């Protein structure tokens, strides 16, 4: 199938780019339109009602761009708005949780599970409920880390402050087999986190797991792009007065990223 329509992806800021990066790695021919709602960042401290409203606006914007599927590349929006969105819209909408839950379920050595995410995600009990439903014997330790996403937006992911903050947040995570990075901003701290927990703990980047499933979903839905061209991506931001460009160009190793960024209006 040669369906050149883009995949739409959405987050409050740079975090979802960690998902975009993995999706592009696994699906290099796909075109992607990314929306970062930088004007309303952070999502992690907002109510469920606000998250549903903002997610709807994001999806409506992406639909106008003629996307064939949507990835909610945000843990906060996945945990609180995904089910509602899947009921309301006819196209495939994928969140960041299911692929990771299935991965852990299959890997029987991972039963002491740590989850770090935003305050909203932890409050929603989204990970706990999904993991317990699929893996009743799992022990889950949760922690909200509200400072990490703003630090990631600032590009503070490998400095002293990042190390100390990660250390403080993770001090209770002594006996876990794996740690789910339940907010898509957190893979930016992977180096610090791995150093803190040691090599024995598997750090799970949800984008990586989602990207593999994405391939299957596109194929099953018969909307994959099997053309001979490399896929492209475009980024829309609701506010451009941010550090987004420098963090994004470093993460995606793209020096020309500025030309791919446009202003979006969700009103
Ligand atoms: N990247 C987001 C998440 O995965 C949102 C962080 C925020 O806006 O607070 O939860």
Encode pLDDT of 93-147 as tens digits. 999 999 999 999 999 999 999 999 999 999 999 999 999 999 999 999 999 999 9
Residue pair 139/174 in contact (Cβ under 8 Å)? The answer is no
Which atom of ligand 1 lies nearest, measured to the CA of 76? 10
Taking the centre of ligand 1 as the mean of its atom positions, its distance from the CA of residue 14, in whole angstroms, is 9
What pLDDT score does 164 carry?
A: 98
pLDDT digits (tens, 9 = 90+) for 31-89: 999 999 999 999 999 999 999 999 999 999 999 999 999 999 999 999 999 999 999 99
Q: What is the CATH number of domain 98-206?
A: 3.40.50.1860
SS3 label, residue 206: helix
Among 37, 42, 142, 204, name the best residue to mutate to test ligand 1's pocket (greatest count of ligand atoms within 8 A of Cβ). Answer: 42
What are the residue numbers of the active site? 74, 183
Tokens of 228: 């001979």
Band of the pLDDT at 237, cuts 50, 70, 90? very high
* Tokens 């797991």, residue located: 209
Which atom of ligand 1 lies nearest, measured to the CA of 45? 9
For the cut 90, the answer to whether the pLDDT of residue 266 exceeds it is no
pLDDT digits (tens, 9 = 90+) for 153-205: 999 999 999 999 999 999 999 899 999 999 999 999 999 999 999 999 999 99
Q: Which residues on adjacent β-strands are paired with residue 142?
A: 115
For ligand 1, atom 2, name the residue with the nearest CA.
74
What pLDDT score does 174 carry?
A: 87
What pLDDT score does 97 carry?
A: 98
Q: Which residues on adjacent β-strands are paired with residue 113?
A: 140, 178
**What global pTM score does this model have?**
0.96
Residue pair 210/18 in contact (Cβ under 8 Å)? The answer is no
CB of 153 closer than 6 angstroms to any ligand 1 atom: no
Domain ranges of the chain: 7-95+208-263, 98-206
Q: Which CATH class is domain 7-95+208-263?
A: alpha beta
Band of the pLDDT at 267, cuts 50, 70, 90? confident
What pLDDT score does 96 carry?
A: 98
Domains 7-95+208-263 and 98-206 share a fold: yes
Q: Which residues on adjacent β-strands are paired with residue 94?
A: 71
């Amino acid at each position: 199938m040669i369906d050149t329509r883009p995949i739409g992806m959405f987050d409050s800021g740079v975090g979802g780019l960690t998902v975009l990066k993995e999706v592009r790695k696994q699906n290099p021919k796909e075109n992607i339109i990314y929306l970062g709602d930088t004007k309303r960042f952070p999502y992690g401290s907002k109510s469920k009602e606000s998250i549903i409203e903002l997610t709807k606006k994001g999806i409506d914007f992406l639909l106008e761009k003629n996307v064939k599927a949507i990835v909610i590349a945000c843990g906060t929006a996945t945990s609180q708005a995904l089910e509602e969105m899947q009921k309301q819209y006819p196209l495939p909408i994928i969140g960041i949780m299911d692929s990771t839950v299935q991965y852990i379920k299959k890997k029987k050595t991972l039963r002491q599970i740590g989850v770090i995410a935003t305050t909203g995600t932890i409050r929603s009990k989204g990970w706990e409920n999904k993991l317990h439903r699929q893996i009743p014997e799992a022990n889950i330790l949760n922690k909200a880390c509200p400072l990490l996403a703003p630090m990631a937006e600032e590009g503070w992911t490998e400095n002293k402050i990042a190390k100390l903050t990660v250390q403080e947040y993770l001090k209770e995570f002594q006996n876990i087999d794996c740690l789910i990075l339940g907010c898509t901003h957190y893979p930016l701290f992977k180096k610090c986190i791995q150093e803190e927990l040691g090599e024995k703990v598997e750090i799970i980047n949800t984008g990586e797991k989602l990207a593999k499933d994405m391939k299957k979903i596109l194929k099953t839905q018969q909307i994959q792009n099997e053309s001979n061209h490399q896929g492209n991506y475009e980024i829309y931001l609701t506010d451009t007065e941010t550090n987004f460009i420098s963090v994004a160009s470093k993460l995606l190793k793209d020096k020309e990223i500025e030309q791919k960024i446009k202003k979006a209006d969700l009103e």
